[in-house]
Amino acid sequence: MELYRLLQQQGFGGRKECKQLIEYGLVELNGEIVDNYRQQVELADIRQLVVDDKPWDVVSGPLYLLFHKPPNYETSHKPQHNPGIYRLLPYQFGNLGITAVGRLDVDTTGLILLTNDGQFVHALSSPKKQVPKCYQVTLKHAASEEFIAKLQTGVYLNDEGEEFAADSIEQLDSHVILLTITQGKYHQVKRMVAAASNRVEQLHRISLGSVELGELPQGEWRHLSAEELAGLGWS
Ligand code: URA
């Protein structure tokens, strides 16, 4: 394939932009600058791709990423009042159609999965799949027995005609619980906590299914491993 087409396929922009990147001498392949945009190149031959002085992973299939969302970022491609999370990812990924699996509120931190595989988004967001999502919840008031019991038995949320109960709850200290839910309704954790007469001060998602956020720093991302994908029922 011609080099400019490969760059297009890798998300570096349209035909004109990719040709220009090459003509301006900004593309280095396997250690050498290539300024002929018609140069033939195959994915399998690329050991190293440097564009505009930055090394890039060559993408050869769908992307599945784990991202640690910082506070004050919107999970949106068209953010309104805060920057969007996508600006924290490599520029290249925006052009490859990366999108989040579900959303976290602006003030919520923690694990978000991102992909350009629409079927993956669909499968994991499906209510039928009941993927457990675990949140570390810091509460305004100490977690009383009554509060925990309400979340365990279920609470009604406005506009939803059914009760929502925690899949599991673990109390870490007087004001902090780990709450696992299997649905993904709008503001669900905050609304459940409010319905049980308390208030969320901080919300942080630590796992989704068998995938854990671990020690990944805020604002950083990594690829999901084959084991993690298999654990989500995807391979
Ligand atoms: N529940 C909420 O209330 N907010 C989130 O961001 C995620 C779950």
Q: What is the DSSP-derived secondary structure letter of residue 95?
A: T
Which pTM value belongs to this model?
Answer: 0.85
Q: Would you state the structure tokens that stand for residue 140, as one six-digit string? A: 């305004």
Predicted confidence (pLDDT) per residue in 157-186, tens digit:
987 788 999 999 999 999 999 999 999 899
What the chain holds in terms of domains, given with CATH numbers, is 3-55 (3.10.290.10), 64-127+217-231 (3.30.70.580), 133-208 (3.30.70.1560)
Q: What is the dihedral of CA 154, 157, 159, 164, to 10 degrees?
A: -30
Q: Is the CB of 203 under 6 A from ligand 1?
A: yes
Q: Answer whether 109 contacts ligand 1 (Cβ < 6 A).
A: no
Mutual angle of helices 145-153 and 188-195, in 10-degree steps:
120
Q: Is the CB of 108 under 6 A from ligand 1?
A: yes
Residue 105 a catalytic site member: yes
Task: State the catalytic residue, choosing from 105, 107, 117, 167.
Answer: 105
What spacing in Å lies between the alpha carbon of 91 and ligand 1's midpoint? Answer: 27
DSSP state letter for 84: B
Q: Is the CB of 117 under 6 A from ligand 1?
A: no
The C-alpha atoms of residue 115 and residue 218 are separated, in whole angstroms, by 18
Residues 6+ apart with CB under 8 A from 161: none
**Residues 65, 223 contacting (CB under 8 angstroms):** yes
> Mean pLDDT across the stretch 29-45?
92
**Residue 2: band (very low, low, confident or very high) from pLDDT cuts 50, 70, 90:** very high
